[in-house]
Amino acid sequence: MIVVFLGPPGVGKGTQARRLCQLLAVPHLSTGDMLRQARGAGTPLGRHVAEFLDQGRLVPDEVVVSVVQQRLRQPDCRTGCLLDGFPRTLVQAQALEEMLAAEGHCIDRVLELTLAEEQLVSRMLQRAQRENRADDTPDTIQRRLDVYREQTAPLVARYAANSLLRTVDGGGTPDEVFARITACVGKGSVG
Ligand code: ADP
């Protein structure tokens, strides 16, 4: 079972993705987490991507695609996975489809979480105080929202066209959002 989470920064993808992974018993593949981890560990990949992360710009497609490709080859992904933060561009979406097709797999469901921009900004500013994420500054937040609108939002139409897409209101408490998610991705209704 392969699920893709789409949604702007601050919408709560990470929180909801972790919960859904537990329910579906699949690994959580967050490219943001993987890249931050590499940066924290000071690996060559981490040094290469640090500037992109801090500025709220997308890491080049070929770099992220290769990170995901290696991760998908790990044995725990054999039963599926939840992709959180990937794909983020049309090139990445195409690469993902090719990677999966090569193994005889395909995406089972795409979940788009939505929220008004003012609420996204206020959530990210709150997170900035809590988690001290280097990319949760007002300028970078705005850039990440712009990047989402320009480069990632076009994926919504692609996944709507092949009926994979379900759109979920990201407003309210985490429990309320999760209830909406499970209503459209019940264990029995995916795959
Ligand atoms: P958010 O959704 O809050 O922006 P993420 O943790 O998903 O946070 O991503 C943080 C940063 O990691 C992005 O701003 C970008 O620099 C980088 N990144 C994560 N995933 C990708 C991706 N698929 N392609 C390019 N860059 C990515």
- pLDDT confidence tier of residue 186, bands split at 50, 70 and 90: low
Residues with CB under 6 A from ligand 1: 9, 31-32, 35, 52-53, 56-59, 64, 85-86, 88, 92, 135, 144
Ligand 1 atom nearest residue 68's Cα: 23
Q: Supply the pTM of this predicted model.
A: 0.93
Q: Which of 39, 88, 109, 180 is catalytic?
A: 88
Q: Which long-range contacts (CB under 8 A, 24 or more apart) does 12-18 make?
A: 12/113, 12/115, 12/123, 12/170, 12/174, 12/177, 13/84, 13/85, 13/113, 14/84, 15/174, 16/113, 16/170, 16/174, 16/177, 16/178, 16/181, 17/82, 17/84
Q: Is the pLDDT of residue 117 over 60?
A: yes
Q: Is a pLDDT exceeding 60 seen at residue 190?
A: no
Q: Mean pLDDT throughout 149-159? A: 96
Q: Which residues pair with 169 in a beta bridge?
A: 114
What are the structural domain ranges in the chain?
A: 2-184
Rounded to an integer, what distance in angstroms lies between the CA atom of residue 119 and that of residue 171? 9
pLDDT in the model for residue 136: 87
- In the set 19, 57, 71, 127, the catalytic residue is 127
Identify whether 166 is a catalytic site residue: no
pLDDT, mean over the chain = 93
User: CA-to-CA distance for 109 and 113, rounded, in angstroms?
Assistant: 13
Q: According to CATH, what is the number of the domain 2-184?
A: 3.40.50.300
Kindly report, residue by residue over 58-98, the tens digit of the pLDDT: 999 999 999 999 999 999 999 999 999 999 999 999 999 99
What pLDDT score does 144 carry?
94
Q: How confident is the model at residue 187 (pLDDT cuts 50, 70, 90)?
A: low
Query: Which tops the pLDDT comparison, 185 or 36?
Result: 36
Dump pLDDT digits (tens) for 173-182.
999 999 999 9
